[in-house]
Structure 1
Amino acid sequence: MSTWVLLRGLTRESGHWGHFPELLQERLPGARIVALDLPGNGRLNQARSPARIEATMEDCRRQLLALGVEPPWHLLAMSLGAMVAVDWAAKHRQELAGCVLINTSLRPFSPWYRRLRPANYGALLDLLFARQAARGREQTILRLTSRHVQPDAAVIEDWTALREARPVSPSNALRQLLAAARYRAPVQAPAVPLLVLGSARDALVDVRCSRRLARQWGVALVEHPTAGHDLPLDDGPWLAEQVGRWAARAGA
């Protein structure tokens, strides 16, 4: 039985996958699916977020081992979580059967103004420091990360409940940002099967970051033509289909 480990991005948690794990399970009926929280987020919101991707990666490894989930694992990771997956593949490739990297951006391949679009800096600072109600913050995040979902959608209620139940501290959010800014990926692709997925209309991270990564490492890239940064939210069925096709080709 294959195991697929899901990793979300900056300040987001396992609950933000929504219904996607069920969609993936339908596409990979024999797989075990495990959604982890990065330290400082979700069920681990009381923990201190590491200021380095390497430490976050090691924490995730410990979580899996504590759960008794034996390798090899497939990683499906987006944004900051995909940086964790890259570091995992570079340092512990014997543990991994493959990685799917969604809407990520990596030094040294892409410049800073594409890795996080400057037009969003003001909104991100407001999310960190402004005394805004939980619902308003989640509406801002939806505006930044989705191209398909309306600001008054039902998902806002779910996200607001998650924020109120397990808030991420500003200090943890800053440490996660610092970790992402610091991380430098290997020039050569890690020696595990890789798939890069990008959203052509990502307003947060320029899709050219995914294109550049795929070219640099000589790996497959598949782009969604209309989705935003939160690809599992905007088109979960499409994402599950792409992962299923790739897994079948890779013999997973």
Structure 2
Amino acid sequence: MAAPTSCSASNATSASDADIVLLRGLIRSRFHWGPFAPLVEQQWPERRLWQPELPGNGYAHQRRSPASISAMTDVIRDQVITSKPVVVIAISMGAMVACDWAKRFPTEVKELHLINTSFANMAKPWQRLQPKAVFALLRAARHWSTDPAALEHTVWQQTVQLGPLAEQDIDIISDWITFARQHPIKASNALRQMWAASRFRAPKSKPCQHTYIYASKQDALVDWQCSLAISQRWECSLLTHATAGHDLPLQDPGWLLHQIAQQSATLHNDQCATNTTATADSE
């Protein structure tokens, strides 16, 4: 009898059969993953980590942002040079790109882990961008061209802050402001991204067999019910964080990584069990 493939839980989360891609959202850069990206590398050291940058944001701020999610997908794919399938971890608008990627190129995407996102055909406009957050961001945007500090403070308030600022919070906001001044985002690019996100409609069924949804119940930007609607429509897992805001990877990176690792380990073990049974049956 042939020896079965080793499928222990210890190697389930370190398998090198796929690369990992991190995708951020509206007017955010890979810079804004903060401590989450290094934690991903530590969790899966055998896997290559890709952090593509959307044109118009961060390190690509001088480029023109695409005006559709599908065009964003094309640009992102061009930056991920690999022959392996990918596990995509994506937040907000980045999750829309991930969804489109999996739908159009299904053999390239092994897993989807979508965080605090929404789709035009599964939520109301005021759920996708909650009115209070919209008004706050519009007020801050008046000073965008002269100094991004007000906008970055407001983004923090709407995506992270749930209580009084701690010293560590002040340091992070300061880093955000410095980065924004060094990599200024054009208002025209922000509008193009908002236009693309507002029109994106997801497929009626999940585009990837292994799709997992994560939502923060205290999200002040995107109503967590959007994630609930997606999970119900697609009949896939929904994991919720009771106290975090929109930027879940920043607020509780350990919790999020643990949940993702658990889902991947369960998937790997299930696949190994199936393969082992098939091998035994063939003997």
* Bucket of the pairwise TM-score, normalised by the shorter protein: over 0.9
Structure 2 residue matching 1:99: 3-state secondary structure: strand
Question: Could you tell me how far apart the structure 2 residues matched to 1:39 and 1:129 are?
Answer: 23
User: Which residue of the partner structure matches residue 9 of structure 2?
Assistant: none
Name the % identity. Answer: 39
Q: 1:139 maps to what in 2?
A: 153
Alignment of 1:113-152 (within 5 A): 113-131=126-144, 133-147=147-161, 150=165
Contact 1:107 1:185 (C-alpha < 8 Å) held by counterparts:
yes
More displaced stretch, 146-155 vs 84-93: 146-155
Distance 1:128 1:50, change over 3 A: farther
The separation in 2 between residues aligned to 1:140 and 1:203, in whole angstroms, is 12
Q: Does 1:28 align with 2:41?
A: no
| Counterpart in the other structure of 2:97 | 84
1:100-179, aligned counterparts within 5 Å?
A: 100-131=113-144, 133-147=147-161, 150=165, 153-179=170-196
> For 2:174 and 2:161, how far apart are their aligned partners in 1?
18
Alignment of 1:238-249 (within 5 A): 238-249=255-266
In the TM superposition, residue 38 of structure 1 has moved relative to its aligned partner by 1.1
**Which residue is equivalent to 2:237?**
220
**Following the alignment from structure 2 to structure 1, what is the Cα–Cα distance between the partners of residues 24 and 197?**
13
Kept after mapping to 2: 8 A contact 1:147/1:226:
no
Task: Find the aligned partners of 1:206 and 1:176 in 2 and give their Cα distance.
Answer: 19
Q: Which residue, 103, 112, 119 being the options, matches 1:99? A: 112
What TM-score comes out, normalization by structure 1 length?
0.94
Q: What letter matches 2:153 in structure 1?
A: Q
Q: Is the 8 A contact 1:117 1:205 kept in 2?
A: yes
Distance 1:154 1:193 in 2: 37
Q: Output the amino acid matched with 1:204.
A: L
Q: What is the CA-CA distance between 1:239 and the residue it aligns to?
A: 0.8
Give 1 or 2 for the bigger CA radius of gyration: 2
1:204 aligns with: 221
TM-fit CA distance, 1:31: 2.0
Distance in 1 separating the partners of 2:58 and 2:84: 24
For the 8 Å contact 2:109–2:208, the answer to whether it is kept is no
In the alignment, structure 1 residue 18 sits paired with structure 2 residue 31: no
1:9 matched residue in structure 2: 25
Separation of aligned partners in 1, 2:147 and 2:251:
24
Q: Name the CA distance, whole Å, in 1 between partners of 2:19 and 2:83.
A: 9
Distance apart, 1:123 and its partner CA: 1.8
Q: Is the 8 A contact 1:9 1:78 kept in 2?
A: yes
Matched, 1:62 2:75: no
Structure 2: runs of 5+ lacking an equivalent? 1-15, 270-283
Shift of 1:148: 5.1
Structure-2 residue corresponding to 1:191: 208
**Partner letter of residue 60 of structure 1?**
I
TM-score (norm 2): 0.84
Query: 5+ residue gaps in structure 1?
Result: none
In structure 2, C-alpha distance between the alignment counterparts of 1:251 and 1:129, rounded to whole Å: 49
User: CA RMSD for the aligned pairs?
Assistant: 1.6
Runs of 4+ in structure 1 over 4 Å off? none
